[in-house]
Amino acid sequence: MKSYLDFEKNIEVLENELEKLKDPFNSEGISEVNTNRISEIQGEIDNKLKASYANLNAWQKTQVARHESRPKAKFFIENLFTDFINLSGDRKFADDEAIIAGFAKFGDMSVLALGQEKGDDLNSRLKRNFGMMRPEGYRKCIRLMELANKFNIPVISFVDTPGAYPGIGAEQRGQAEAIARSIECCMSLTVPIISVIIGEGGSGGAIALASANKVLMFENAIYSVISPEGCASILWRDPSKSLEAAKAMKLSANELLRMGIIDEVISEPLGGAHRNKEKAILSAKIALKKYLQEFSTYSKEEIYEHRKNKFLAIGKQKSFVEFLTSDQTITKNYNSFKSISFNFLKNKKKLLFSSVTLLIIIIIFNKFL
């Protein structure tokens, strides 16, 4: 059974009508299929999908990124790679089912595939902990990335998580340290790392596997430091303000591309990746192939320097000035602050003398009253 989002209600009505028309068996028995009407309704559906998905706001994109039918990491790994060998355990505590990790073949090239997996039904979601990794999951990734680095094998990660698991046990076993070490490991490798954000890229739980040479992002995916609901709860004490929070956070692919946080937006089929998973796989395959070929000409030192310089460039003044109005830039605000500070210091003695004089006058005036 298909699942529809709030803004897809008109499409749901049309698709239900289309399914009835395609079924030759109705209450009156076998009937002739009206192919003209089917083509007409399909055209209407395509037009409505095109109009709706061309104008999604930040909150609607968040809903699409979380769609229960959206292709998950397991689906990408099964359809992009061959000879996948699943590897388990961090050799310290346990295995983490929230992350699928192992070596595989991408064409004729050996790669390490890492994928945060949410699960497709209730049982698998509970087993996978809804894609929220524990410390042992990050330590498993570190172990395998170091192994891949030793044998000069590229790393490909698929990011889809609301964030790292916030449970007491995870904190007791060093969640923050495990995430920090995973980021450090990603940044120190001399093999190329390509990360694909396929759904939600939430907080440090995502960046632990997305500190890559190239960060690719599906058109309707999101990537942020916190969920819109969490941000709204902190800023406004009101989770219902998720739309305002989502807009302010600039978590959509196109906005992040403009800021230089990600490197490429992978286009999705009409109506989102969940409507045509095969096309989504093909788009991802083309992008991965392009960047793996590009890095095949790099030396180990060049790969390391490329990743380092990419992250050092994020957040420089130029990146932020682009998103300010022409009459309100960081430089102007800084210069204004400097000017005010200088004028205050310059006239400090005059202000102090005036204040003392005024105080004396007030005391004398009160004495004679």
Higher-scoring residue by pLDDT: 185, 323: 185
| Sequence-separated (6 or more) residues with CB below 8 Å from residue 354 | none
Judged by average pLDDT, the poorest of 293-297, 357-361, 365-369 is 365-369
Burial of 52 (0-12, 13-18, 19+ CB in 10 A): middle
Burial of 3 (0-12, 13-18, 19+ CB in 10 A): exposed
Apex 304 CA angle, 192 and 295, nearest 5: 35
Structural domain spans, the chain: 6-55, 64-314, 315-349
Q: Per the confidence metrics, is the pTM higher than 0.85?
A: no
Q: pLDDT tens for residues 45-66?
A: 888 888 888 888 888 999 999 9
Burial 275-314 (b: 16+ CB within 10 A, else e): bbbeebbebbbebbeebbeebeebeeeebbeebeebeeee
User: What DSSP letter does each residue of 153-189 carry, written as one string?
Assistant: --EEEEEEES-S---HHHHHTTHHHHHHHHHHHHHH-
Closest CA to 70 of 150, 195, 160, 175: 160
Average pLDDT, the chain: 86
Evaluated on CA atoms 109, 110, 116, 121, the torsion sign reads positive
Judged by average pLDDT, the poorest of 116-120, 171-175, 221-225, 322-326 is 322-326
Radius of gyration of the chain (CA): 27
| Sequence-separated (6 or more) residues with CB below 8 Å from residue 170 | 134, 135, 164
pLDDT at 151 over 60: yes
Rounded-to-integer distance, Cα 232 and Cα 142, Å: 33
| Sequence-separated (6 or more) residues with CB below 8 Å from residue 23 | none
Higher-scoring residue by pLDDT: 306, 204: 306
Q: pLDDT tens for residues 226-265?
A: 888 888 888 888 878 888 888 888 899 999 999 889 999 9
Burial of 243 (0-12, 13-18, 19+ CB in 10 A): middle
pLDDT value for 149: 96
pLDDT value for 7: 85
Q: What is the mean pLDDT of residues 262-286?
A: 93
First to last CA, the chain: 88
Q: Three-state SS for 103? A: strand
**Ramachandran quadrant class, 114 (left: phi over 0; alpha: psi -120 to 50; beta: rest):** beta
Strand partners, 112: 103, 155
CATH classification number, 64-314, choose in 2.60.40.3950, 1.10.150.120, 3.20.20.80, 3.90.226.10: 3.90.226.10
Q: What is the mean pLDDT of residues 262-278?
A: 92
